[in-house]
Amino acid sequence: MEKRANLKSSLRSGIRARREEIDLSTMSLVKSSYLQPELTLPLVMQPSVEGVNLAQWAASNNELLRTELAKHGAILFRDFHIDAPAKFEAFARAVSDELFDEYGDLPREDAGQKVYSSTPYPANKSILFHNESSHMHRWPMKIWFYCVKAAEKGGATPILDCRRIYQSLDAGLIKRFTEKKLLYVRNFIDGLDVSWQQFFQTSNKEAVEAYCRKAGIDFEWKSESHLTTRQLGRAVVKHPHTGEMLFFNQIQLHHVSCLDPEVREAMMSMFRQEELPRNVYYGDGSPIEDSVVQEISDLYEKQAVRFQWQPGDVIMLDNMMVSHSRDPFEGTRKILVAMAEIVADNEIQ
């Protein structure tokens, strides 16, 4: 009896040991494919066996993920049973140790997490294409989106390859944007868009002024509750790791011509152009022509890649290489966001 018990114990120990000794660095645990044969954006990664812990696998395959992200610009992780925000955050941390937690444009999901809720914007409206924080003096290199709940209808997160956009736009236009750069103007007005207190995460005006001076942001207090900022930024950049040229900006998200016609008409009836909550100009302050923005928007729509969210999906983007947006939706939808690897404009050639 004792021998039989010892034998069973040895077998159980051997099985546990074999399970624990699975080599997380092998690709046999994960398979890759594309959403469609002709699309290489995004790369899709799925488990090839049951029970793969995505965070553990990522920690052992960081070099592989870095290589694939540099090649494709976006990786969609599907069927890994990411069923809680904590698992999402653990995966993002496994890829990048320091997650960004000073972002004022998005509401934090939980006080104890470095994870944000997606932009609180009307469900029946599109959020237009943008590279996150490209209108600022620093931005995250990596950004993750996690689907807690997919919308009943719509709500895709279209993405764009900024390398292809750079290559496809008229060369004269690229030259103009490269030389002139961009000027982003924001008017923080109570009740419209994000407040200056939320954006700067302080109600101390002196702290806001110190931040603006350090970041090279021109600022002006129009009243106690009205702050105007002007930030010079780039429209075209070279990727710091791959050396590829990118069309990298937030033109669509800021330019007044991209507002819905009725919203634009209402805004223009309430404010002078320089007082609009958001707008973007050429770097010398001259207006960017509506026709130019339309040309860019048409190209975006032509090259956009859409996929329908499934609960538990996580997509990781190289934020400089790929821009993102959001389609209108019906029902309820919950997408969480994490960001990492902050780079400053003065660190880019």
Distance CA(75)–CA(98), nearest Å, equals 20
Question: What's the confidence (pLDDT) of residue 103?
Answer: 54
Share of the chain above pLDDT 90, in %: 74
Q: What is the mean pLDDT of residues 235-243?
A: 96
* Contact (Cβ atoms closer than 8 angstroms) between residue 146 and residue 316: no
DSSP character for 213? H
Say yes or no to pLDDT of 185 above 70: yes
Give the per-residue pLDDT at 111.
46
The position carrying tokens 């993002």 is: 92
pLDDT at residue 346, as a whole number: 87
pTM equals 0.86
- Residues pairing with 316 in the sheet: 75, 144
Strand partners, 144: 316, 338
Q: Decide if 55 contacts 87 (C-beta within 8 A).
A: yes
Longest Cα pair distance anywhere in the chain, in angstroms? 91
Measure the CA–CA gap between 42 and 12, rounded to whole angstroms. Answer: 41
What are 59's two structure tokens?
Answer: 């920690």
Least confident residue range of 13-27, 72-86, 172-186: 13-27
Sign of CA dihedral 37, 39, 45, 46: negative
- For residue 184, give the 3-state DSSP assignment: strand
Phi, psi dihedrals of residue 247, rounded to the nearest 5° = -90, 100
Mean pLDDT of the chain: 89
Residue 107 has a pLDDT of: 56
* Contacts for 129 with CB less than 8 Å, ≥ 6 apart: 158, 160, 252, 253, 300, 304, 323, 324, 325
pLDDT at 101: 73
Lowest mean pLDDT among 77-81, 94-98, 154-158, 301-305: 94-98
Tens digits of per-residue pLDDT, 7-39?
A: 344 434 333 333 334 444 445 899 999 998 888
Query: All domains of the chain, ordered by start, with CATH?
Result: 166-298 (3.60.130.10)
Give the per-residue pLDDT at 28. 82
